[in-house]
Structure 1
């Protein structure tokens, strides 16, 4: 995509935190993530719930734009959705983590998992790590999860995380349920599990 870099040149690098779970690595975005992120968003079932217009992203430029937005959130705000990578294969699994652009209804931890990696518990595993990191890093009493009313799978993830449905919001012209993870409840559940 870009020309080779001269050996004497130094390019800007975003080095966000890296989170390791039992099966996953949550890390910063890189150029190699554009193609698998675009492939994930080309799936109509995935795009329906996580693209702005609910339509698949099939063009290379639009996939690049989406990845640039994800990576740019880190540059502009110091946080963003992590790329989720499967440790055993080093494959792109999806994206999970904080999301709080201007006008958003609150500090969110969201998730989007590629079709071929669903059903393995990766969304819950990665979201737990991202929620832990967020509560450790920020003075927050709650984290939201905006989930389309018809997204039954994401609602199941929210329930497994211990979140509660607490209202609605308008996202890009359609209604989404707002699920909430409370800090005190999260910490109590984490202590009880350990």
Structure 2
């Protein structure tokens, strides 16, 4: 499965999800330059150099033990990068842990929901059955709304970073 599960171009009515490449680093450094988006996800705005190194590692595509596949997409709207979505897929299990980040200037217009929904639909077609999970800071209400729009529900369990685990309310059956 490792060789066959790779990010592919995904389109919606208004967005394009473009598979991540190192060449996206400079453009994404500008998208991720705000400070408010780090309130709940931690960290700080990365430089283009930091993103290039991160993207080089992510585009390897698998964990060292080859049990996970890393899928990453840049969200584009009218040709302009506005954020990213990603999935960590267990190859021997049914779980895909998903995440989304939209730059501050592009938030509040449904782009995160639209992009995440397209990614989840793609995952379910390419690696069924897929159980979707996400980790969301309990105070991150916009991200919680995206999760709810994906059909995820909070579990009440917090991870080591203090983020609540969300999962499919009705996971797909085999």
Normalised to the residue count of structure 2, the TM-score between the two structures is 0.78
State whether residues 28 and 71 of structure 1, in contact with CA within 8 Å, keep that contact through their aligned partners in structure 2.
no
Query: How far apart are 1:145 and its partner, in Å?
Result: 1.0
Q: In the aligned structure 2, how far is the partner of 1:93 from the partner of 1:31? A: 16
1:42-61 Cα distance to aligned partner (Å, 9 max, x none)? 322223334xxx22134332
Q: In the aligned structure 2, how far is the partner of 1:73 from the partner of 1:178? A: 24
Q: In the aligned structure 1, how far is the partner of 2:34 from the partner of 2:57? A: 19
Corresponding residue to 2:137 among 121, 137, 148: 148
Higher strand share: 2
List aligned pairs for 1:1-194, cutoff 5 A: 16-50=7-41, 54-73=42-61, 79-86=70-77, 88=78, 90-100=79-89, 107-171=96-160, 174-181=161-168, 182-184=170-172
Q: Which has the larger radius of gyration?
A: 1
- The total of aligned residue pairs comes to 160
State whether residues 117 and 150 of structure 2, in contact with CA within 8 Å, keep that contact through their aligned partners in structure 1.
yes
Normalised to the residue count of structure 1, the TM-score between the two structures is 0.71
Are residues 145 and 78 of structure 1, via their aligned partners in 2, closer, same or farther at CA, if it must alter by over 3 Å?
closer
Higher helix share: 1
Q: In the aligned structure 2, how far is the partner of 1:109 from the partner of 1:138? A: 14
Where structure 2 has 5 or more consecutive residues not aligned to the other structure, the ranges are: 1-5
Where structure 1 has 5 or more consecutive residues not aligned to the other structure, the ranges are: 1-14, 186-194
Are residues 73 and 38 of structure 1, via their aligned partners in 2, closer, same or farther at CA, if it must alter by over 3 Å?
farther
